[in-house]
Structure 1
Amino acid sequence: MLDDTLLDDPAALQRADRDHALLALAGAGARVRTALRLADAAGLAALRPDGRPRGVLVAGHGSAVAAGEMLGALAGTGCLIATLPPTDANPVPRAGRDVRPPAFTAGLVWQLPGWAGPLDLLVIASGDGGEQGLVTLAEQAYARGCAIAVIAPTGSRLAEAALQVRALPLPYVLPALPDRDESGDLPAEPDLPAEDPGALWAFLAPLLALTEKTGVTQLPAGSLPATADRLDETAVRCRPDAAAYTNPAKSLAGRLAGTVPLLWAEGPVAGVVAARFAALLADRAGRPALAGLLPQALTAHRGMFTGRLGAGADPDDFFRDRVDEPDPLLLQVLLLRHTPGRPGEAQGPAEVAADDEGARSFSVLRAHRLAAAHEVRLTEYAGVRADPLHALAELVGLTDFAAVYLGLAADRS
């Protein structure tokens, strides 16, 4: 169950947020600005690419892979975009007398596709820079003649390997956070710590700056720097001291409490936001969620509506005494869309009423009818910015904050 009182108590939120996740999200705009400035200083401004690459491969794990998927949504079909998640993991021996086990991610393994060669660009991204598997991947790509760029912290093993394979070194901007509260409980899995929720933008900003230079993406002029402003605006709307009835992220967290969310999306931009939201709900709130693109999600998830989680699926006696029973776990549909240029809408993601007269595709109308027929609550949010990157930034900002708030306020006992 959700502790509603905590959401309206900024001091209690700060105490509960031991790893400063809310502060990391609030600083996403600053990290974008810093990443763009440092990328230019690292040589991106002077880069003169010889035509557009045949394909762009983005290798990493967690938010790095999510950044690659978002690049694919923004680039369209003009260039092949592929993500390279890890394919295996090897054990990592402990160093000396270190009693703490090494991070599981240090032993991850990546494999370069057989078709990758001199016509392709490989971007290797890591927030830690200590994965030996990524260093090996860079060496494989260098032997095949691929163009290589590396996003990693300065001084890390991966950043040093980038110099050896003549890769373009791009910065990974670390969050400006206070020291972690050592009085807090240690994670149950010390070798699998929670990822920095703001890491996505530390990867995506230099990645998009690079693909803009190479002609893979063609965003409106000034789109990247202005994205930082959109993230700042979202942070203000979703700040901890904003009351739940005026804070869209707290409102969304409250609606998702006690439900199994079905995250449906229309279009590629909303699709990657839904996938990101599902990942962060699992990581930050410990909640399962299913993400899918319309219209395929309607057929893929239809069994959920007639199963035990559907609102109208209770076969027991309706009049039995439920006082001592826990609240039932029911479905909740969250529908995400990108509807650029809708007149009269407020800036930022807008909640769309069920009886809204605006243009809706047949798939969206069918989703509303399916939910209504089975008494399942459906909430629809639309990004209204014409710039797809800005719409993505605002939708991601809203859902990221909602996942963190839900995790902080949920009773995990």
Structure 2
Amino acid sequence: MAWFDESRLDDATALGAADLRLRTLAESGARVRREAGGAAEATALGVAGSQDARPRAVIAAGPDSRLLRAVLEPSCPVPFVAWPGPALPGWAGSLDLVVVLAPNGSDSGTASAVAEANRRGCQVVVACPPASMVAEHAAGRYSSILPTVTDDQLATAVVMLSFLDQLGLGPEADPDRVADALDDVAEACSPHRDLSINPAKMLAIALADATPIVWGGSVLAARAARRIAESIRRTSGRTALAGDAEHLLPVIEAAKAHSVFDDPFADGSGDLRPVLVVLADETDADAGDQAGGDPVVREHRGRLLAAAAERGVRVETVSTDATTDVARYASLLLTGTYAAEYLRLGLVDD
């Protein structure tokens, strides 16, 4: 049976054993800068060659298209379609722009979609390693390759989003601002920072004896919630849920009403109570804290918090001061991923 030893979160020996994983997280901002710098020339050439006419539609192809959809759907001025399969919609043609993320460049399905886009005469922009199978299939008269080297999905996405931002097809995606937000998280969540002032370590402690239920109100916060839940499942082997409010409410409402006088060891069942983790960005702030924001998101958050209060379910909030959509997503995701790694570090076998 595993139990959580919070002293390991500040223990130099234990932290040293997890140094590689934690260092990889700390270098997230550096990878964004590296990818953006390496692709700057190709981005400028692609933007210059695409300024003549706005595409009829933007199609994000390949399995990594869902992140682009989360960012672009609310703001893209032309129809946007995410197509994660190894093909393209039947109507895609020369008037459309096909964008593809291929961080490792070796996915055969993605290569097939790129080749089909070239065959149909689509405008094609691919972010991938320049010496890869996807890059080979991307070669064409109307195609551009944004070269990447780090195999980092987020950094690769930022390169593409910066390109689309400069074309006026997406929201602001300044790589420097995203990298700065990631650096801020890496500093706040550093393994060398005491757990009493380390938000990721404190979140890991809150999750140690609970079943995490992760919720984000905005489209990007919801995607970050799903990614964080995946990280928690991978690092701990425990159940972690993420979803819309209507999917999570029944789980909270099914929790046994909690009393401060309850003996947690009385029944010996070992069942873990849920804990609600709210990913808060400026779009889902409490109505009392901010006049703006989406009223539907505020209503969903209010229902979740009310249900948690009624059942005695603990609530943890992860927030960010980042100022752009992509930077907020990156900040929330990295904080949650740090917490998942600290949860892995603290769990030990009995």
Q: How far 1:321 sits from its partner (Å)? A: 6.7
Matched, 1:26 2:26: yes
Equivalent residue for 2:84? Answer: 85
SS of the equivalent of 2:139 reads: helix
User: Taking structure 2 as the reference length, what is the TM-score of the superposition?
Assistant: 0.84
Deviation at 1:357, TM superposition (A): 5.4
1:311 matched to 2:285:
no
Number of the residue aligned with 1:140: 116
Is 1:202 aligned to 2:155, yes or no? Answer: yes
In 1, the alpha carbon distance for the partners of 2:323 and 2:104 equals 35
Tell me the amino acid that sits aligned with residue 72 of structure 2: G
TM-score, structure 1 as length reference: 0.73
Secondary structure of 1:301's partner? helix
Structure 1: unaligned runs, 5 residues or longer = 87-109, 176-198, 343-351
CA 1:164–1:380 in structure 2 vs 1: closer, same or farther (change >3 Å)?
A: same
- Displacement after TM superposition at 1:247 (Å): 1.0
Q: What's 1:91 paired with?
A: none
2:123 and 2:55 mapped to 1: Cα distance? 9
Partner of 1:123: 99
Distance 1:321 1:256 in 2: 18
Q: Pairwise CA RMSD of aligned residues?
A: 3.0
Classify 1:253/1:300 alpha carbon distance in 2 versus 1 (closer, same or farther; 3 Å): same
Tell me if the contact between 1:31 and 1:201 (Cα under 8 Å) persists in the aligned partners: no
Q: Tell me how far apart the structure 1 counterparts of residues 15 and 5 of structure 2 sit (CA, whole Å).
A: 11
> Which residue type is aligned with residue 209 of structure 1?
S
Find 2:320's aligned residue among 383, 398, 401. 383
Deviation of 1:390 after TM superposition, in Å, equals 2.8
Which position in structure 2 is the counterpart of 1:331? Answer: 274
The residue identity in structure 2 corresponding to 1:76 is: S
Per-residue deviation, 1:200: 2.9
Q: 1:46 to 1:9 in 2, by over 3 A?
A: same
Give the count of matched residue pairs. Answer: 338
SS in 1 for 2:243: strand
SS of residue matched to 1:332:
strand
Q: 1:312 to 1:337 in 2, by over 3 A?
A: same
Aligned counterparts, 1:207-356, within 5 A: 207-219=160-172, 223-293=174-244, 297=245, 299-307=246-254, 310-312=255-257, 322=266, 325=268, 327-339=270-282
* Rounded Cα–Cα distance in structure 2 between residues aligned with 1:137 and 1:412: 46
Aligned to 2:61: 59
CA contact (8 A) 1:339 1:385 kept: no
For 2:264 and 2:71, locate their aligned partners in 1 and report how far apart those are by CA, in whole Å.
52
**What is the SS of the residue equivalent to 1:53?**
coil
Aligned-partner Cα distance in 2 for 1:404–1:257: 12
Q: Which has the higher helix share?
A: 2
Deviation at 1:398, TM superposition (A): 1.0
Residue equivalent to 1:367? 304
The residue identity in structure 2 corresponding to 1:31 is R
In structure 2, how many angstroms separate the alpha carbons of the residues matched to 1:399 and 1:229?
Answer: 17
How far, CA to CA, are the matches of 1:272 and 1:341 in structure 2? 14
CA distance in 2, matches of 1:292, 1:46: 37
CA distance in 1, matches of 2:231, 2:18: 17
Cα 1:281–1:147, aligned 2, differ >3 Å: closer, same or farther? farther
Separation in 2 of the partners of 1:126 and 1:319? Answer: 52
Whether the aligned pair in 2 keeps the contact of 1:340 and 1:386 (CA below 8 Å) is no
Instruction: Give the distance between the partners of 2:322 and 2:301, measured in 1 at CA.
Output: 19
Alpha-carbon displacement from aligned partner over 1:104-154 (angstroms, at most 9, x marks no partner): xxxxxx122223222322222223222222221111111222211222223
How many angstroms does 1:42 deviate by? Answer: 2.5
Contact 1:138–1:165 under 8 Å retained in 2: no
| Structure 2 counterpart of 1:331, one-letter code | P
Q: Percent identity?
A: 28
Query: Any gaps of 5 or more consecutive residues in structure 2?
Result: 292-297
